[in-house]
A and B are shown apart, each in its own frame.
Chain A
Amino acid sequence: MSRQANRTTDSKKMNSELFTLTYGALVTQLCKDYENDEEVNKQLDKMGYNIGVRLIEDFLARSNIGRCQDFRETADVIAKVAFKMYLGITPSVTNWSPAGDEFSLILENNPLVDFVELPDNHSTLIYSNLLVGVLRGALEMVQMAVDVRFAQDTLRGDNVTEIRMKFIKRIEENLPAGDE
């Protein structure tokens, strides 16, 4: 709470290299700690989720954005405001499903993967899987259950990095049992 006094709507910026390298150090550590890539992916997702749950508050406070009317607006806010604010990039939103409940984020310059190359024995590692957790956690806090996954990844030889997001359902606000 002590930081409330000097909080501004403009977030402070820093050089992305420390961020990139710190993330790299974390992934390296996880690869040492866990047996296989699946476990690392899972752990990254979990950590991302924890971040997302906290990040959404920071985001809502800084951006003055209210509730989104539909999933299209959500997509726009994520790509044009949130990604810009935190990672300094603006992914493009494409590949809408006809029902409008599924779309893709195409990342041009993912700052997490600057100067990263996957060694052969980690071919199933989803290096930036933290982002998946962040998106899921943050959206869950605004009552949206969303399925997030990496559909393509340049690190694994694809042409682009694509995050696929699918709206599952609106989470009803439940009162805790016996608390009425």
Chain B
Amino acid sequence: MKIGVLALQGAFIEHINHLKKLHCETVEVRKVEDLNNIDGIIIPGGESTTMSKLLKETGIMESIREKINQGLPVWGTCAGMIILAKENENHPIDGLKVMDIKVRRNAYGSQIDSFEEMVDIKEISQNPLSLVFIRAPYIYEHDSKVQILYKKDGKAVAAKQGNMFATAFHPELTDNLEFHRYFLSMC
């Protein structure tokens, strides 16, 4: 199996390292051609404004959108979740607009308000999982087609819709591989 990781900006190496630990072939996606022959794609954490701009200018935006609509499995973490959402608010950016969720950017405040917590998400793992939130967004509205996997204080922060998976937090910054294993099971 070969998984693409969007490598325009952000913490893409962390995703690649996790995938390699699961014996998965990876490719850093910087050009439209890099999308050929991949079985899934991860849109990593970073700055969604920066990624949005580079996605548009390189033409990767349309190519990824087309592939996702044709069923390519995709996982967005944090900035990646903002890119996937149909709508985003609080300084909105142009994204793929493929997933039926509406997200609020920087929903918890500035860096000083970033946090980490241990939770149970049965869909992902039988063991407690560490969730790292960094200037994180949350989902404030979603379609009934969207399956919510976890809510924090009543706000959805992990969701799945068909071939699309989104988390407001960063599993790639922990040692745990469960989320990556879960995504590979979708591919």
**Do these two chains interact?**
no
Binding site for A on B (CB under 8 A): none
